[in-house]
Structure 1
Amino acid sequence: MRLKYPIFAILLILLGFSEISAFTPPEKLTYPPLRFQPPRAEKIVLPNGIVVFVLENHELPIVNLFAMIKGGSFFDPIGKEGLAELTTMVLRIGGTSSRTGEQIDASMERWGMTFEISTKQEEISISFSSLSHHFAQGMEIIADLLQNPAFPQDKIAIALSQKKERLRRLTDDPEQYAFLKFNQVIYRSDPRGRIPTFKSLENITRNDLVMFHRLYFRPTNIFFAITGAVTKEDVINLFQRDFNAWKGSQTKELIPPPPLPPTGIFSLSHKTPQSVIITGRPAPPKKSPDYYPFVVLDFILGSGGFRSRIFQEIRTNQGLAYSAGSFYRARVEHGLFGTYAMTKAGSTGTVLQYFIDLPKNVKNHPITEEEILWAKNSLINRFIHNFDTPEQIVRQELALAFDNLPYEFLSQYPQKIRAVTLNEVNRIVKKYLSSTEVAILVLGNEEDYDRPLTSFGKVENLKAND
């Protein structure tokens, strides 16, 4: 067969060889930094102080509402720990002055709605979802619940019973129980360290719920985010219809905890074949310039999963732990860095010694450029996936407003992480890990430990939750 276009074929071959000879190895390829710019939600501030973020998304006939209220368990009065959670539990099931809880549940079920409310240390969170053509009815119910909860005595009794049952089952999950007691150790007299007990729950009355609601469910204390098949104008009209009469001034702000946690070893006896070890030390807050280098350091040490140092040594190399890693809790005004492991009782001393020696190990085996690059790339890639959906986007902006942080804290995150250097991380190691101010909690059956805790220093025995 004759080649129809011989000259053209020769040219193609020559071009191909030319491209191969000019091929650049992958490791030498360079790319300009990606400019990540997620969509922005529109911010609305109503005359009574309510802040609302709106992001339209008409792909599906669904509307999602999220809200954050400054009023978590931090504000529980002394001796009435559990009040914030009990208030939200009864608010959800107790109905309002104009409709019962059963009527609200029936309406939401009929219209295909979901509504959840939960309480954390420093916030109360709300999540609501509805078909777009029923969103107006749903908003009316949500507004009624937030402004006019009935708090009937029979529903208070139900919520109290449920909360007490949770307390009875608290020790069923050793890891969860250990972290709860760890908070108590770290924060001590600070409200963040107080834990509900059967006695504190018994001290709570209906009037306490009414007063808590009156103090913290206020328009200047709540932030909303809405996304879905709804327009900004529709949202403004609905909020003016349902929340215009809601009045109230600003409540007191959160107070940072003491600057340093107590030091020492705290033992919590628990009859279990495993032990839980948790350590904690001061770390930079979100507003600190040390925040971004510390995020990178934490990722390298323990929060980066399988490749992190703690996981590699304790789990992979020594096979000592079921789970192991680190955590970095950064708040606006304070921060905490910790390590944790769940191991068999007979390895408790070995794992604890590793955690105690961690600063020395990092000094003897310094962080490398390779680890820095891996952590930065992983953190940036993970961060971008926080904006995969409109719901994620508005919740990010909601959290910023709640913490009174500028949008740049979010938008500049990739650039700030990318700019972290090895020198900065080494400086952070010296500044925060060289301190001996560390609290250690060990939960388990000390009779089975490979070393007595007293061999590590003075031990304080903790009491189980009443």
Structure 2
Amino acid sequence: MEVQRLLRSVGRDAGRGDAGRGRGGAARRARAAGGRAGARRGAAEGQEPDRRRLLPQPAEPVLPARAAALLRRLGGLESPQHVGREDAGGDARGRAAGGGEVLHAREPHRGDLPAQGRDVRRAGSRGARRPAGRAAADVPRPAAADPRRRRRGATRAGDRRARSTEGGAAPRVRGARGADGANDARATRGTARRAGRGGGAVSTFGITSRRTRVALAATALVACAPLAAAADSAIPPRPEQLTFAALDFEVPRAEALRHTEGLGGAVAYVVPDRALPLVNVVLHLRTGAFREPAELPGLAALTARLMRVGGTTGRTPEEFDERADFLAAQIGVTSGDTGTRASLNVLSHSLDEGLDLLFDMLRNPRFDTSRLEIERGKALEAMKQRNDDASDILAREQGWLFYGRDHFGARQATAAQLAAIDREALLDFHRRTFGPEGLVIAVSGDVDPVDVLARIARRLDGWQAAESASWPPSTPDYAPAPGLYRVEKDIPQGKVVVGHRSLAVDDWTDPQLAAIEVMNDILGGGGFTSRLVKRIRSDEGLAYGASSRFGLGAFWPTTFTMGYASKNPTVAYALEILLEEFERIRAEPVSQEELRVSKGSFVDTFPRSFESAAQIAATFAQDEILGRSHEYWYGYRARIEAVDAAQVLAAARRHLDPARLAILVVGKWSEIAPGDPEGRATMAQFGGGKSTELPLRDPLTLEPLAAP
């Protein structure tokens, strides 16, 4: 648990989540705003925006002007962003000489236009088809122009080419700007078009020859033919027959990125990345809940929060915030059980001033009393809601079951203890525990390693905490008791966690760790491919999800847990299935297919830990904090791929112990205890038929509430 709490934010602040976005200018922001226009929170069913309208529109390929015009008219480059003028009732696009068919790809039966794909040719055009026995002169002429088309055409009169509909090809009409002749020509063509025949128009794209059109289409088809043939030959008939080339990825060498010179004992990992003019700096300090007084739980977290929002000795909180905003700098401090991290993300040309703000905050906090009152008020409101969510109750009681109430990893503050944290307590904790001892720094972005480390070293000079940290933190002195525990909460779904303590790691390259990871992944850590999800959700429909987690402790044993939430009457039946799978993975080897899928997921996703400069720096900094050799990463995939079914079975039998299981249930016991309405399971089957009730506690005092 201490590892996860220490590093739960690794990578979260290491870089801006939208660092690659947000600078695209007004056009990009306008498009984004348009996509969000209909997606408002709380939209009633049936009022959600049409998702298809939110999809990015396909870009048209870059083709020579004539080829693009031709393919667009054939529907190949039909743009869904604008209604074609011809479709809209006007006649802006004209017709290609030669009388090729008009495709209305969006609406095949638009008014009295022919259906999509129908071959329509115009009288008087080259190669026009006529019914047997009818001559061109038999084609009826329109009595009058369509007024709607006249109005639409009048706005662009003289900009179009036209032909008369008097049988054969007519001379072109050029330059008749505003003239009635141009409007009449459009109207005549439009009426004839609705009749399915009439005068053909010369294309506005200048393609006047059917031979040219056919030649361009043939060229496009010939160019695409090899691609289509290659695609057909490369795609197998079944998805499971797809094959992929082996992933070629090498982990960066940590020793080339590690720096210690001139840092006064601190260790830094610097990973340059010039893609964006941004710099990320993360400082991992050796202070946290493990150094706070037992009578003041929450002091470390509140100190970190007030360091950021409470100003510095030289700047008021408002001045500090204003300057950070002016620099577009993101600055933060968070504290966990075994560590505190301070972070800076700033434009590279403002790095010096950003570092000034960061170290001013770390070394000279003001702890403004008005901001302290605000933050204590927020914390008090959060306390009042401790029992509102059953998940919070479950987490609190689980921590006490596995670590006891006195260990810093499970301590909970009361309202009285929160009130006792005043400005003097914050100043004293900062003075005693904040300093560069054991400092690990991760830097990434648009930097030169030598230059950025010199800047940091200058700001570290003379900084020292009053007390030295005891490292590593103390191990919990508590032995969890197995059994069935319950907390009464009137909710329709019971929440369940089952588990015991896990192990602390001495050697991170031990092959058994890889077997444990694969074992847990198959049991419940692998999502929809895991056994718990398949049985409890997919097969029985008893829960939206079920999972397992096997924690690996760097300093002390953490926990192995399994959990789910199900409606009260089916909690017992889901628990029976969960324990069946727990026993099965200890009793028989996993299948080769399960082994293949699980190992493949670890190996294939492995590069994600190193996909950005910020992640590379954060990963190696984490190694430094935990005392884990970087060799762990270089042999990771080989150790995973070497795992076989026998090793998974051995790991399950060694590290999963049914005799140590503690079962914790939060829910309405009167509905949970009788079990499944169909009689498949009851809660009397578990915990030796006995259960221990844990009281629901007052959210402010943590004392048991009186029974209703």
TM-score, normalization by structure 1: 0.88
* Matched residue SS, 1:171: coil
Q: 2:553 aligns with which of 331, 341, 356?
A: 331
- Counting strand residues as a fraction of each chain, which structure ranks higher? 1
Letter in 1 for 2:519: L
Given the superposition, is the C-alpha separation of residues 29 and 59 from structure 1 closer, same or farther in structure 2, using an over 3 Å criterion? closer
Counterparts of 2:581 and 2:661, CA distance in 1: 12
* Matched residue SS, 2:437: helix
- Residues 180-206 of structure 1 show CA distances to partners (whole Å, capped at 9, x for unaligned) of 331122111322121122132123232
Counterparts of 2:658 and 2:432, CA distance in 1: 40
Q: 2:328 aligns with which of 112, 122, 136?
A: 112
Q: 1:207 aligns with which of 424, 445, 460?
A: 424
* Matched residue SS, 1:321: coil
Q: Is the 8 A contact 1:91 1:145 kept in 2?
A: yes
Q: Partner of 2:485 in structure 1?
A: 266
Find out whether 1:134 has 2:357 as its counterpart.
Answer: no
1:380-459 aligned within 5 A: 380-449=603-672, 450-451=674-675, 453=683, 456-457=686-687, 458-459=690-691
Counterparts of 1:220 and 1:139, CA distance in 2: 19
Counterparts of 1:28 and 1:186, CA distance in 2: 46
Counterparts of 1:69 and 1:90, CA distance in 2: 16
Find out whether 1:373 has 2:596 as its counterpart.
Answer: yes
Given the superposition, is the C-alpha separation of residues 105 and 180 from structure 1 closer, same or farther in structure 2, using an over 3 Å criterion? same
Find out whether 1:340 has 2:558 as its counterpart.
Answer: no
* Matched residue SS, 1:115: strand
Q: Partner of 2:533 in structure 1?
A: 311
Q: Partner of 1:279 in structure 2?
A: 498
Q: Is the 8 A contact 2:285 2:436 kept in 1?
A: no
Q: Is the 8 A contact 2:586 2:649 kept in 1?
A: no
Counterparts of 2:428 and 2:605, CA distance in 1: 42
Letter in 1 for 2:574: V
Counterparts of 1:131 and 1:30, CA distance in 2: 40
Letter in 2 for 1:456: F
Counterparts of 1:348 and 1:76, CA distance in 2: 39
Counterparts of 2:290 and 2:691, CA distance in 1: 28
C-alpha RMSD of matched pairs (Å): 2.6
Find out whether 1:216 has 2:433 as its counterpart.
Answer: yes
Counterparts of 1:89 and 1:29, CA distance in 2: 51
Q: Partner of 2:251 in structure 1?
A: 37
Find out whether 1:76 has 2:292 as its counterpart.
Answer: yes
Q: Is the 8 A contact 1:260 1:437 kept in 2?
A: no
Q: Is the 8 A contact 1:48 1:246 kept in 2?
A: no
How much does 1:335 deviate?
Answer: 3.5
Counterparts of 1:30 and 1:144, CA distance in 2: 52
* Matched residue SS, 1:79: coil
Given the superposition, is the C-alpha separation of residues 278 and 368 from structure 1 closer, same or farther in structure 2, using an over 3 Å criterion? same
Letter in 2 for 1:49: G
- Counting helix residues as a fraction of each chain, which structure ranks higher? 1
Q: 1:461 aligns with which of 693, 697, 707?
A: 693
Counterparts of 2:464 and 2:489, CA distance in 1: 49
Find out whether 1:144 has 2:360 as its counterpart.
Answer: yes
Letter in 1 for 2:257: E
Q: Is the 8 A contact 1:285 1:291 kept in 2?
A: no
Q: Which moved more, 1:334-343 or 1:75-84?
A: 75-84
Counterparts of 2:691 and 2:293, CA distance in 1: 30
Q: Partner of 1:225 in structure 2?
A: 442
Counterparts of 2:578 and 2:622, CA distance in 1: 33
Q: Is the 8 A contact 1:160 1:201 kept in 2?
A: yes
Q: Which moved more, 1:455-464 or 1:413-422?
A: 455-464
Letter in 2 for 1:306: F
Counterparts of 1:28 and 1:448, CA distance in 2: 49
Q: Is the 8 A contact 2:525 2:549 kept in 1?
A: yes
* Matched residue SS, 1:159: helix
Letter in 2 for 1:355: L
Counterparts of 1:174 and 1:323, CA distance in 2: 16
Given the superposition, is the C-alpha separation of residues 65 and 33 from structure 1 closer, same or farther in structure 2, using an over 3 Å criterion? closer
* Matched residue SS, 1:77: coil
1:53-92 aligned within 5 A: 53-92=269-308
* Matched residue SS, 2:497: strand
Counterparts of 2:386 and 2:334, CA distance in 1: 18
Q: 1:251 aligns with which of 466, 469, 473?
A: 469
How much does 1:229 deviate?
Answer: 0.7
Q: Is the 8 A contact 1:117 1:124 kept in 2?
A: yes
Q: Is the 8 A contact 2:251 2:633 kept in 1?
A: no
Q: 1:93 aligns with which of 264, 286, 309?
A: 309
Counterparts of 2:414 and 2:683, CA distance in 1: 28
- Residues 271-300 of structure 1 show CA distances to partners (whole Å, capped at 9, x for unaligned) of 221111011223233435332211111111
In the alignment of these two chains, the number of paired residues is 445
Counterparts of 2:245 and 2:275, CA distance in 1: 33
Uncovered stretches (5+) of structure 2, i.e. residues with no partner: 1-232, 234-239, 676-681, 703-708
Counterparts of 1:28 and 1:148, CA distance in 2: 60
Percent identity among equivalent residues?
25
Q: Is the 8 A contact 1:278 1:440 kept in 2?
A: yes
Letter in 2 for 1:36: E
Given the superposition, is the C-alpha separation of residues 74 and 177 from structure 1 closer, same or farther in structure 2, using an over 3 Å criterion? farther
Given the superposition, is the C-alpha separation of residues 445 and 259 from structure 1 closer, same or farther in structure 2, using an over 3 Å criterion? same
User: Which segments of structure 1 move beyond 4 Å, counting only runs of 4 or more?
Assistant: 26-35, 452-455
Counterparts of 2:363 and 2:253, CA distance in 1: 32
Counterparts of 2:352 and 2:614, CA distance in 1: 19
Counterparts of 2:642 and 2:558, CA distance in 1: 21
Counterparts of 1:93 and 1:177, CA distance in 2: 30
Given the superposition, is the C-alpha separation of residues 61 and 28 from structure 1 closer, same or farther in structure 2, using an over 3 Å criterion? closer
Q: Is the 8 A contact 1:215 1:251 kept in 2?
A: no
Letter in 2 for 1:80: L
- Residues 406-445 of structure 1 show CA distances to partners (whole Å, capped at 9, x for unaligned) of 1112232212212222221111111122441112211112
- Residues 3-36 of structure 1 show CA distances to partners (whole Å, capped at 9, x for unaligned) of xxxxxxxxxxxxxxxxx9xxxxx98999888553
